[in-house]
Amino acid sequence: MKKIVLGVDGGNTKTDYFLFTNHGEFIDFFRGPTCSHEQFKNGYVGAHDAMKKVFDWFLPKNNLKAKDIDAAVFGLAGVDTPTQKENLERVVESLGFKNYKVVNDSFLGVKAIGISGVCSINGTGTSSGGIDDEGNYLQVGGIGAIVGDEAGGNYIGRCAIRAAYDECYRFGKPTSLTKIVMDYFKITDKYYLMDAISDGIVNRKIDYNYLNLQVFKEASLGDEVSIEILKQIGENTARSAGGVINNLNFKGKVNVVLAGSVWVKGNSEVMLEKFKEVILTNTKKDCNFITLNVPPATGAVIWALELANNKYPSEELKQIIVGNVEKELNRLEG
């Protein structure tokens, strides 16, 4: 019997919606704006309205209603606490879906690779999510530095500024980042550095991604401070991902999936080696480290297929899903 499944990958800037049959046949795809409640002044109401606006035309376009969707998985940014999860589950139910899961988007990387494992997100921000062999799942981090979320491109960019300020005023080690930061702020006298930083923060005009990229570049050229920053990122992400492993029940080898632009595009051996070292030392587990090279949205579709069919899809079926998702995203992104 043919069933219809929905996979949703909702980030802080965009949301991808995929419709498939439970046999892996592609039905339709749409990319819409964010549906994260954290991006709306009216919070969960805004999230509801954003998704309803899409479903009010996307589903009828395919002669479907929410009740026709046999299984749906919503991997959403901002599902970081039990309360947030419960509120967003109410949003999904109010939209008419019955058989569904609402999870943080970090879990999608796990299902894109296998039945269980841990996914370390290291992109603009950071968090870790894991699903064990018994189906229990846990997220560590996701709400800021207060819980150890000291990684991601924005944080690395801030570390570059901090390194420059430290060298100028706080007995910091000499670093090539100082000139880069001074040039970025268009100043030649460190006397004006605090003013430039303050103005950038207040007016939200600091390009953290640019400074993030400079840290990787200078680390590759041997700058000791940049190398230490990336080692710190490796350790911070490992503590979160390793915390997931130790608080769940993994019986055998653990898939540790690395996702997000910093992991996928950063290409830093020192960061990765520190990550592996801290994970292996503190978990005592045999781990299989995998960089996620398929779109996270595949994890949402694959998980929805698992819900619909009551079993994790075969490798052949997974590859069909991956191929169709990549085809649609490549077509959209040119």
Domain ranges of the chain: 4-98+294-333, 116-293
Q: Could you say which architecture CATH assigns to the domain 4-98+294-333? A: 2-Layer Sandwich (3.30)
Q: What is the per-residue pLDDT for 1?
A: 77
pLDDT grade, residue 13 (50/70/90)? confident
Q: Is the dihedral of CA 225, 226, 227, 230 positive or negative?
A: positive
How do residues 162-214 score in pLDDT, each as one tens digit?
A: 999 999 999 999 999 999 999 999 999 999 999 999 999 999 999 999 999 99
Torsion of CA 51, 53, 55, 57, to 10 degrees: -160
* pLDDT for 11: 85
Residues 6+ apart with CB under 8 A from 42: none
pLDDT at 142 exceeding the cut of 90: no
Q: CA 178: distance to chain centroid? A: 30
Fold matches, 4-98+294-333 and 116-293 = yes
The pLDDT value given to residue 125 = 87
Q: Which CATH class is domain 116-293?
A: alpha beta
Computed over every residue of the chain, the mean pLDDT equals 95
pLDDT bin (cut points 50, 70, 90) of residue 77 is: confident
Can you give the three-state secondary structure of 216-258, one letter per residue? Answer: HHHHHCCCHHHHHHHHHHHHHHHHHHHHHHHHCCCCCCEEEEE
| d(C-alpha 107, C-alpha 105), whole Å | 5
* Cα distance between the two ends of the chain: 36
Query: Which pLDDT score, from 0 to 100, does residue 305 have?
Result: 96
Instruction: Look up residue 94 and give its DSSP letter.
Output: H
pLDDT for position 267: 83
Cα separation of 176 and 189, whole Å?
A: 16
Q: Number of helices (H) and strands (E), helices first, in the chain? A: 12, 10
Residue 102: partners with Cβ closer than 8 Å, 6 or more residues away: 74, 76, 79, 85, 88, 89, 92
Distance in angstroms (rounded) separating the CA atoms of residues 21 and 319: 14
| Angle between helix 315-333 and 297-309 (nearest 10) | 140
